[in-house]
Structure 1
């Protein structure tokens, strides 16, 4: 796969960001407090909304997206350090973070189970977990469409799985799910929860 997806990501997402995602991101990310970890920060769409964070360590394995994120990095009121790292192998000590944020990233993490285990390792007990993801839907026709489209979509869009059940993975990880909000007929959700105390 070439580099077209990270180069064009912001352009492709702009209509959704302006119409709805910006408000969802803002409301979710402002809940992050203390020392924050962001998983898969991409082009830095969340950076301007960290109004209650003491600091943010953001990981992003894609060099093109990291480079593009510096525009949004400059708009943040919180100090942000961007790391080249994967979610499955976080370069941080145990019990480091008070909040963890991930938005539209668990669809493309190669091993989400391992990533969730790493989040719990580096987060403090009872840390806030704040996710915004697109997920598998429990509608037979839509499920079938997403299942059929996913193999091609993954190749085109940097490993994105249209049919990944991220909510189930989070529940099975041991993270306590406190609330779930659904958007666009349940295709997109926000999850707020806490790591095990």
Structure 2
């Protein structure tokens, strides 16, 4: 993780967060109950919006992002513990969490399939998996543009892939999707699902 990227992340995301993303995060996190695991918690943008969880364990591989998140822990009403780990190798027992949350993170995970298998492993059977992600678009022209831009985008945005088909990955691994909402065409998706 580039230290400068971590430092400037919130600044560059602020216009989107103020307009739409804040409302989406609040709605998504209102469904996070019990023992919650957040994958790729980044700068902690979700932390102030947890209201219904018992506790939140936030996993983040970047030390720089973790440092940025500590001030936001104080804004939360829920106990939050941040653990440095990758989504592909979660240091938790099988079936430990009631809810898994991932927001704008699957685009940067080096091995998203392994991360989904780990997510399923640590989530209780019947537990909730809640995501807000940007994904590969259905429009052929826009999708091909995403494919073309991804190698360059990954370099400037610390590994972010514009062309991930996260919904298909979830379905392929037996996660039952119960609700999908699309934003900005179908560039961003809100997903509620259940671990089977």
The normalised TM-score by structure 1 is 0.98
> Whole-Å Cα distance in 2 between the matches of residues 3 and 131 of structure 1?
26
Q: Counterpart of 1:32?
A: 32
Q: Counterpart of 2:47?
A: 47
Offset, 1:4:
2.1
**CA displacement, residues 49-98 of structure 1 (integer Å, 9 cap, x when unaligned):** 11000000000011111001012111111101100000000010111000
Q: Alignment RMSD, CA only?
A: 0.9
> Whole-Å Cα distance in 2 between the matches of residues 2 and 32 of structure 1?
30
Paired residues of 2:60 and 2:84 also in contact (CA < 8 A)? yes
Where structure 2 has 5 or more consecutive residues not aligned to the other structure, the ranges are none
> Whole-Å Cα distance in 2 between the matches of residues 179 and 12 of structure 1?
29
Q: How many residues align?
A: 196
> Whole-Å Cα distance in 2 between the matches of residues 124 and 94 of structure 1?
8
> Whole-Å Cα distance in 2 between the matches of residues 81 and 3 of structure 1?
22
Q: Counterpart of 1:22?
A: 22
Offset, 1:3:
2.5
Name segments (4+ residues, structure 1) moved above 4 Å.
none
The normalised TM-score by structure 2 is 0.98
> Whole-Å Cα distance in 1 between the matches of residues 33 and 174 of structure 2?
21
Q: Counterpart of 1:190?
A: 190
> Whole-Å Cα distance in 2 between the matches of residues 138 and 174 of structure 1?
22
